[in-house]
Amino acid sequence: MVKLKLKKKVWQIGIPLLLTTIVGIILGTNFYNDYKYKQTYEYKLISHGYTKEETEKLLNYFQDEEKRNQLLEKEKNSTILELIKEKYYIHSNLESYLAYKEKNKKKSNNEIIAVINTHQEENAYEETKESDTEKGILININKFYKVNEDYEPQEITNINLQYAYANNKLANVANEAFVTMWNAAKEQDLQLIVNTSYRSYKSQETMYENTKAANGSRTADNMVARPGHSDHQTGLSIDVYEKNYQTMATFKDSPAYTWLKENAYKYGFIERYPEGKEYITGFTYEPWHWRYVGEEAAKTIHEENITFDEYYAYYVENQA
C-alpha cells in the first residue's frame, strides 16, 4: 500500500516536471530560433522597411556578404530595386547611380546606368585614366581614357590603294577584316573607300588645334578628340565613304551606310559614334566612323544596340 502511494506521488510530481521541461525546451528553441532569425539579412532588411518580396529580390541579387552589408548601411531606397533590374548594372557604381539619380530625376534608369558606367558625369579630359593597352582590339580610348604620344599599335600596315586613299594605315587584323568586308559590300555593288584611318598623337594634335582655331574649344571638343584621346590612334578605326557618297553630309543617306549598319558586325566592325548616343560617347554623330573590335564583341554590341563605351564598361572593365 505504501509502495503504491509512493508511485502515485512520483507520478504526480514527474508529469508536471516533464511538462515543464518540454515547455522549457520548446520556449528555449523558439527563443533561439527567433534570436537566430534576427541575425539574418532577411530580418534586417525587413526592419529597414523592405517588404518580404522586395527582400527576396535583393537577397537573390546580392548574394555576396559585403554587398548585403552595404545595403544595410542605407535607409530603404526603392531606386535600388529599380536599378538592379537594369542589364548593365554594376554594383561598385551604386552610390554614383543614386547620387546622379537624385540630381537628374527625369532621366531613365537606363540612361543613368549608361552615363555612370561610361564616366560621362565626370570632367572630360580632366578626370582621366590610362588606357589599358593590354586589351588588344578592345582597347578603349576616349575623353576619359588616354594613351601617351609614344603609343602606336603593333603590326600596323599600309592599306592597299584599292581600298583606301593614299597614306592610310591599319593594324593588320583590322585591315584583313576590312578587306573581307569590302569584298562583301562589293558583291552588293557598293564600293567602300577609307578616307582616314590611323592617326598618330602628333597628327591628332594638329587636327585638334586647327579645329579649335577655326571653331573654338567647345565645338572642337564635340567634333574632334584631343591628342592622346582619339579612337584613331588605336589603329583599329576607319572613316569610310562610298564611291558615290564621299562627304560627311551625304554618307549617312547612302546605301553603303545602310548596309554597314546591318552587316559590319559580321566582320568585327561597329559604328563608334552612333546617332542618339552622343550623351554616352561624348562626340557628335559620325556615320562614317567604324571601329574594329572583333566579331564576338561586334555581335554583342549589334544585338544589344549599345555603344562600344557601354560594352567596354560592362563586359571588359567590369569583368577584370
Interacting residues of 264 by C-beta distance below 8 A, sequence separation 6+: 181, 270, 271, 290, 298
At 111, the amino acid letter reads E
What 3 state SS string does 236-276 have? CEEEEEECCECCHHHHCCCHHHHHHHHHHHHHCEEEEECCC
**DSSP H helices in 131-290:** 172-186, 201-215, 217-223, 248-251, 255-263, 278-281
Tell me the sheet residues that pair with 47.
Answer: none
Q: Which three cell numbers stand for residue 85?
A: 533590374
Q: What angle do CA 220, 171, 307 make, to 5 degrees?
A: 50
What CA–CA distance (Å, rounded) separates 114 from 312? 11
At 102, the amino acid letter reads E
Residues assigned a catalytic role: 286
